[in-house]
Structure 1
């Protein structure tokens, strides 16, 4: 567990208790040393978390409103904007998680921050992201995560249909449209497929393996090199 995650969970544990909990109990819970817990407590106190107590007695958070998740105004604005983008532009499952995150963030916002959030200058539109694209997005996301091939019926920019078997590697939002980056078995090379031009897709049970020259990072490196060369 990373330190940031441990600190976050530590705050939640202390907030949820009526009686103090000792460093030994916390150390056993997080499977770390008591010395680590003492350092964590000190870090949280230095950052403004009102933790009361001392070594050998135990710790508890005073009945005092905490800064929401210890983020400042700009950080919360960025998180809310990002969550709204995910809610509007991705598949139904991720969208649901994003909406839940927005509700949790807004639930702990102080009044003055809620007012700022309500009057944010940013508007996230969900136009051009219909149910068909959202369903494709969810199926492709699952295929990417499990490394399974996809049979795809696709129309190019000229409306010419084609059937492909592809190995999906990543979904990229270029602005306005989602694009699937995949390795095309027909062309034996990377290809880009816009979700709004997909007609039908079938998830197969054929697994593929990513390697040094077949993955999303490799594709992006090739794109960067291509544009760098054009700019020379």
Structure 2
């Protein structure tokens, strides 16, 4: 666990307790040494967190706004809106992480700001991203991370169907539709595939390699150059 993650979880743990907890208990909880916990506590206290207690007795956070986690309403709106988008428009795993992130943010908010955040004017609809697209999204995310080819049955805008082996490079959200950017082995070139037009998707164990002329950044550079020439 990274130090930043441990500090964040440490704050949440102390914030949620009514009674003090010792450094030994914290060390066992986070699987680190007591010395590490002492350093973490000192670091948090020096940043302004109201942590009370001492070694051998225990630590607790009094009910008080936490300075490092203070957000303006606009900052909070941006963070929560982004998390809601990820929650609504990606696969269940990423959605779960987004919801967990929102809970962590809301857990350390002062009550006044928490009340304001509950009345956001933004609504994120998820009805265009069904279970099938979510499953495809999860499969593609794993394939992109592992650099494995996938077999795709696809139906284009003219209802023509094709079966291809593709090398998935990344996914782009175009405000309503997810599009997969991939290198198509049938065409030996970049192709874009909308998730809502995918009929079937199968993972393989066939690896592929990227290079300077075959990766997501290269594709984006080509697109930018194309539109620059047209302007």
Specify if TM > 0.5. Answer: yes
TM-score normalized with structure 2 length: 0.79
SS in 2 for 1:168: strand
Structure 1 unaligned runs (5+)? none
Which residue in 1 is equivalent to 2:199?
Answer: 199
- Taking the aligned partners of 2:67 and 2:10, their CA distance within structure 1 comes to 15
Would the aligned equivalents of 2:69 and 2:109 in 1 still touch at CA under 8 Å? no
Query: What is the alpha-carbon root mean square deviation over aligned residues?
Result: 3.3
Structure 2 unaligned runs (5+)? none
Q: 1:178-222, CA deviations, whole angstroms, 9 ceiling, x for partnerless residues?
A: 000100011111110000111111111101112222111111122
- Taking the aligned partners of 1:80 and 1:187, their CA distance within structure 2 comes to 41
Which residue in 1 is equivalent to 2:71?
Answer: 72
Would the aligned equivalents of 1:68 and 1:108 in 2 still touch at CA under 8 Å? no
Would the aligned equivalents of 1:164 and 1:185 in 2 still touch at CA under 8 Å? yes
Which residue in 1 is equivalent to 2:166?
Answer: 166
Which residue in 2 is equivalent to 1:18?
Answer: 20
SS in 2 for 1:204: strand
How many matched pairs?
Answer: 224
Which residue in 1 is equivalent to 2:177?
Answer: 177
SS in 2 for 1:199: strand
Would the aligned equivalents of 2:150 and 2:166 in 1 still touch at CA under 8 Å? yes
Report the CA distance shift for 1:97/1:161 in structure 2 as closer, same or farther (over 3 A).
same
- Taking the aligned partners of 2:58 and 2:221, their CA distance within structure 1 comes to 49
How big is the shift at 1:19?
6.3
Would the aligned equivalents of 2:85 and 2:124 in 1 still touch at CA under 8 Å? yes
- Taking the aligned partners of 2:165 and 2:79, their CA distance within structure 1 comes to 37
